[in-house]
Amino acid sequence: MRELQEIWADIAAIDETLAGLYQKRIQLTKEAAEKPPADREAFDFSQVEAFLFQQAKVVFQGEEGAYSQQAMREFFGRQTENFHVDTWREAMDAIAAGTADYAVLPIENSSAGIVSENFDLLVEYDHYIIGEQIIKTNHCLLGMKEAVHSDITDVYSHPQALMQCSRYLDANGRWEKHSVKNTAGAAKKVKEDQKKNKAAIASGVAAEIYGLKILAEGIENNTSNSTRFIIVSGKKAFRADAAKISICFELPHKSGSLYQALSHFIYNNLNMNKIESRPIQGRTWEYRFFIDLEGNLSDVNVQCALRGLQKETERLKVLGNY
The answer to the question of residue 181 being in a domain is: yes
Average model confidence (pLDDT) across the chain: 92
The answer to the question of residue 60 being in a domain is: no
Kindly report the CATH number assigned to the domain that includes residue 213: 3.40.190.10
Give the residue from 182, 217, 252 where a domain finishes.
217
The single-letter code of the amino acid at 4 is L
Q: What digits encode the pLDDT tens for the residues 209-245?
A: 999 999 999 999 998 889 999 999 999 999 999 999 9
pLDDT at 139 over 80: yes
Give pLDDT, residue 33: 58
The answer to the question of residue 99 being in a domain is: no
Q: pLDDT over 90 for what percent of the chain? A: 76
Say if residues 199 and 155 touch (Cβ distance below 8 Å).
yes
The answer to the question of residue 91 being in a domain is: no
Q: Give every CB contact of residue 92 below 8 A, 6+ residues apart in sequence.
A: 103, 121, 124, 125, 127, 232
Do 189 and 252 share a domain, yes or no?
A: no
Question: Could you give the CA distance from residue 91 to residue 78 in angstroms, rounded to a whole number?
Answer: 19
Do 190 and 244 share a domain, yes or no?
A: no
Question: Could you give the CA distance from residue 276 to residue 270 in angstroms, rounded to a whole number?
Answer: 17
Kindly report the CATH number assigned to the domain that includes residue 265: 3.30.70.260
Q: Give every CB contact of residue 185 below 8 A, 6+ residues apart in sequence.
A: 62, 63, 66, 158
Question: Could you give the CA distance from residue 288 to residue 252 in angstroms, rounded to a whole number?
Answer: 11
pLDDT at 126 over 90: yes
pLDDT at 127 over 50: yes
Do 248 and 213 share a domain, yes or no?
A: no
In sequence order, which ranges of 66-111 are alpha helices (DSSP H)? 67-76, 88-97
Cβ burial, residue 77 (10 Å; 0-12/13-18/19+): exposed
Q: What digits encode the pLDDT tens for the residues 17-65?
A: 988 887 787 777 667 656 655 444 447 899 999 999 999 999 999 889 9
Closest CA to 30 of 291, 269, 320, 316: 269
Question: Could you give the CA distance from residue 46 to residue 240 in angstroms, rounded to a whole number?
Answer: 10
Give pLDDT, residue 24: 81
Do 211 and 263 share a domain, yes or no?
A: no
Q: What is the DSSP string of 180-228?
A: -S-HHHHHHHHHHHT-TTEEEEE-HHHHHHHT-EEEEE--SSSTT-EEE
Give pLDDT, residue 30: 64
List 193's β-bridge partners, or say none: none
- Reported pTM: 0.81
CB atoms within 10 A of CB 82: 18
Catalytically annotated residues: 227, 229
Closest CA to 179 of 160, 166, 197, 194: 160
The answer to the question of residue 79 being in a domain is: no
The answer to the question of residue 82 being in a domain is: no
Do 149 and 200 share a domain, yes or no?
A: yes
Q: Give every CB contact of residue 303 below 8 A, 6+ residues apart in sequence.
A: 33, 37, 43, 297
The answer to the question of residue 22 being in a domain is: yes
Give pLDDT, residue 118: 97
Do 303 and 255 share a domain, yes or no?
A: yes
Do 244 and 313 share a domain, yes or no?
A: yes
pLDDT at 12 over 80: yes
Give pLDDT, residue 41: 43
The whole domain housing 252 covers 4-47+238-321
Give pLDDT, residue 32: 66
Give pLDDT, residue 18: 83
Q: How many domains does the chain have?
A: 2
Do 145 and 202 share a domain, yes or no?
A: yes
Question: Could you give the CA distance from residue 72 to residue 294 in angstroms, rounded to a whole number?
Answer: 24
Question: Could you give the CA distance from residue 131 to residue 232 in angstroms, rounded to a whole number?
Answer: 7
CB atoms within 10 A of CB 24: 10
Closest CA to 172 of 192, 199, 191: 199
The single-letter code of the amino acid at 278 is R
The answer to the question of residue 209 being in a domain is: yes
Q: Give every CB contact of residue 290 below 8 A, 6+ residues apart in sequence.
A: 119, 246, 247, 248, 274, 275, 276, 277, 278, 319
